[in-house]
Amino acid sequence: MTRVATFDDWKDMFRQWEKEIDLDVSKFKDYEFEIKFEPTECEEIEFGDFKGRKKWETVLQIPDQRIRDGLQHLIVYQGDTEFGSVEQQRRLLRHPPNDYDLGSLVRVMREEMRHGWQMCYLLVNYFGHSGKIEAQKLLERRSFKKTRLLGSFNQSIDTWLDFFCFTQFVDRDGKYQLGMLHHSGFGPLARSMGPMRKEEFYHVLTGHTGLARIIKAGRVPRDLLQRFVNKWYPSALDLFGVDNSTSAAWFYVWGLKGRYDEHPDLPPADRENLNDEARHHYMQEMRALFADLNQRLPADQSPLRLPEEKFNRKMGRYADMAFDVNGEPLAAADYMAYLASVLPGPEDYRRLEEICKDKDWIVAVS
């Protein structure tokens, strides 16, 4: 049964959600959550079978129920990531390394909540009864109960190193997802993306500069940093979805979700490999970012490495297959022990906790 008849009803549920997840709302008391839209560069559908037609402004204008359902699905998944990440990060508010990083965390979290508001506004105001039910469900799932829709948003973020890796890897996937929705044939969704993309830029900047500041401080050992890279990078690769996704192909055919770099001069889309194409754009960007980070390491240290695409995947052609960080196959019987040797475990978290007791584990920003 839905408890949401209007967006004001949903706002009441949001306030209850804040209490239920034990969020320190005092950190956000001066922030007013707004619904933001920005004009799009093109008022026509930019790709797919409806290319050239005027963008749909209401769900009733969409000519097929399958397209309406697909659109709602995209909005629900985007909204779920926003609230899930706040649930993951909320405990970090209790032990920031300094005022600057506390301010950055507060900004990231409030903008993630605003993005969730934006998606729920669309669901409640454009999708009728089913949209209201889905908007309610977005506040009922819990990251810490592992009921969020995507695996990355069910992992715990107990340390600031986890947070910086999350914003480096997972939020950067979000940058790509928002970029692809920016070209949507549904006008209200496309116009939502401009403000969200601008805000997301700060999130990914927080991750990269945070890791750079940790490296510059020189307190967290390189081997410990590498374990956290091994933890979060494969999870982010999974967020791009199944490699040969029929859903991604239909979203493109229907004009709902384009390529990250969608523009008229691109060659025809390889509709069977859209997720894989976006993933490899992401991987190329990550390699450049890690080249930058490795320049900051002392000359006598080996560089940080991104694991190969096959390592520790839960989705796609390599899902649940045993490969090491170099992409070499392993015996299934040896795999769990191998993972324990390259991912952060209890002893690594204990080491990190000891290091972070001293404020100089990360370079302060004046």
* pLDDT for the residue 99: 97
**pLDDT tens-digit map of 323-357:** 999 999 999 999 999 999 999 999 999 999 999 99
Kindly state whether residue 363 falls inside one of the protein's structural domains: no
Q: How many domains does the chain have?
A: 1
Answer whether residue 243 shows pLDDT above 90. no
Residue 266 pLDDT greater than 90, yes or no? no
Say which CATH number the domain at 182 has.
1.10.620.20
Is 290 within a domain?
yes
SS3 56: strand
Q: What is the pLDDT of residues 34-53, one digit of tens each?
A: 999 999 999 999 999 999 99
191-209: string of b/e by CB count within 10 Å (b at 16+)? bbbbbbbebbeebbebbbb
Rounded Cα distance between 139 and 229, Å, is: 30
198 in any annotated domain: yes
Show the domain range for 93. Answer: 7-263+271-358
| Own/partner pairs, 271-278, CB within 8 angstroms, 24+ separation | 272/244, 273/243, 273/244, 274/245, 274/248, 274/249, 275/240, 275/241, 275/242, 275/243, 275/245, 275/248, 275/316, 276/240, 276/243, 276/244, 278/176, 278/180, 278/240
Tell me, yes or no, whether 143 lies in a domain. Answer: yes
pLDDT > 70: percent of the chain: 100
Integer angstrom CA distances of residue 115 from 82, 325, 356:
6, 34, 31
Model confidence band, residue 1 (pLDDT cutoffs 50, 70, 90): low
Which of helix, strand or coil describes residue 301? coil
Q: Which of 211, 204, 203 has the alpha carbon at shortest distance from 228? A: 211
- Average of pLDDT values for 306-331? 97
Please give the Cα distance from 252 to 274 (Å, whole number): 9
Provide the pLDDT confidence category of residue 262 given band limits of 50, 70 and 90.
confident
Residue 192 located in a structural domain: yes
Is pLDDT at 3 greater than 90 in this prediction?
A: no
Distances (CA, A) of 48 to 18, 174, 207: 40, 23, 35
DSSP code at position 307: P
Q: pTM of this prediction? A: 0.96
Q: Residue 127 has what pLDDT? A: 98
Q: Could you tell me if 245 and 274 are in contact, meaning their C-beta atoms sit under 8 angstroms apart?
A: yes
Residue 180 falls inside a structural domain: yes
pLDDT of 131 higher than 90: yes
Q: Does a structural domain hold residue 1?
A: no
pLDDT band for position 264 (50/70/90)?
confident
Higher pLDDT, 244 or 327: 327
Please check whether residue 305 lies inside any domain of the structure. Answer: yes
Q: Is 186 helix (H, G, I), strand (E, B) or coil?
A: strand
**pLDDT attached to residue 187:** 99
Average the pLDDT over each of 181-185, 229-233, 296-300, 330-334 and give the range with the smallest value.
296-300
Separation CA 116–CA 192 (nearest Å): 11
Task: Name the average pLDDT for the chain.
Answer: 97
